[in-house]
Amino acid sequence: MTSRKKFLIISLFIAFLTKVVGEFVHEVMGHGFFVLLFGGKIVNIHLSLLWPYELSYIRWSGNFMPWQQTWIAGGGILACFMVSGMLQALLLFNVAEDWRLSTPLLWLAFWTFLNPTGYLIIGGVKPFGDVATLIADSVLTQQSSLLMGLIIFFAAFLSLSKILMTQLTIKSIVKSIKELRLSLALFWSTIPIVTTITCLGMKLPLPYLQIFTVLSLVPLPAAVLAPNFLQPNNIPTN
């Protein structure tokens, strides 16, 4: 049995570290990979410890065809989704049973899901960054970006919630359904926190801040209800 205090402290530390790794996936494994693939050169990489208040970025040089520029622009979103999908699949099949391994994988899966999904949802309402480029290239529209982001968010919400529930119950970190609901709500409270910081960092007008705040709060009641339909095992109902 793992101490809840120990688990929480280590989990928060890992969350910060994997947040930076998630930025590496987006900028280097995503944008940077396609830059090098198409014969370009990476000039500068900045991974912000303050993300999401301050965005990370990568600078490159080279002569690219329009279709290559599109792949470069979408590379960060694509790489993050691929990494998150693979990690979630591994965790759902309990490939990593030790919590000291599964916890970093869970947080990395979370950040690499949240990064591009946030781009799609926020960009669907107010285009910016990679999404604005993809819309300009007619790869996305605001409507398709928003719809895609919401669908992926819903699927990942179910998957990550199930993974977290498995971690918490197998290691007996929670001992009741009430504690499990609280743990899920605390985990998904990351969404409104990150959303608010992102909006402040982008200096969005108040109406946008209000819209995104309301959207970001939806996962919290959903997290409380998640054990009702995700069927946690070995948890007493009291």
pTM: 0.92
**Which are the contacts of 208, defined by CB distance < 8 A and separation ≥ 6?**
125, 126, 199
Q: Kindly report whether the peptide bond that precedes residue 221 is cis, defined as omega within 30 degrees of 0.
A: no
| pLDDT exceeds cutoff 70 at 202 | yes
Q: What pLDDT, on a 0 to 100 scale, did the predictor assign at position 233?
A: 58
Tokens standing for residue 157 = 């919400």
Question: Is 237 a member of any domain?
Answer: no
Question: Is 204 a member of any domain?
Answer: yes
pLDDT digits (tens, 9 = 90+) for 38-60: 999 999 999 999 999 998 999 99
Question: Is 170 a member of any domain?
Answer: yes
Question: Is 235 a member of any domain?
Answer: no
Question: Is 238 a member of any domain?
Answer: no
**Nearest residue to 15 via CA among 108, 112, 117:** 108
Q: Domain range for residue 195? A: 4-230
Q: What pLDDT, on a 0 to 100 scale, did the predictor assign at position 4?
A: 72
The secondary structure element, H or E, covering residue 148 is helix 142-170
Question: Is 132 a member of any domain?
Answer: yes
The secondary structure element, H or E, covering residue 57 is strand 57-61
Instruction: Name the domain count of the chain.
Output: 1
| pLDDT exceeds cutoff 80 at 236 | no
Question: Is 23 a member of any domain?
Answer: yes
Mean pLDDT throughout 94-119?
Answer: 90
Measured distance CA(195)–CA(190) in Å, rounded: 8
Question: Is 236 a member of any domain?
Answer: no
Q: What pLDDT, on a 0 to 100 scale, did the predictor assign at position 229?
A: 83
Mean pLDDT throughout 203-223?
Answer: 92
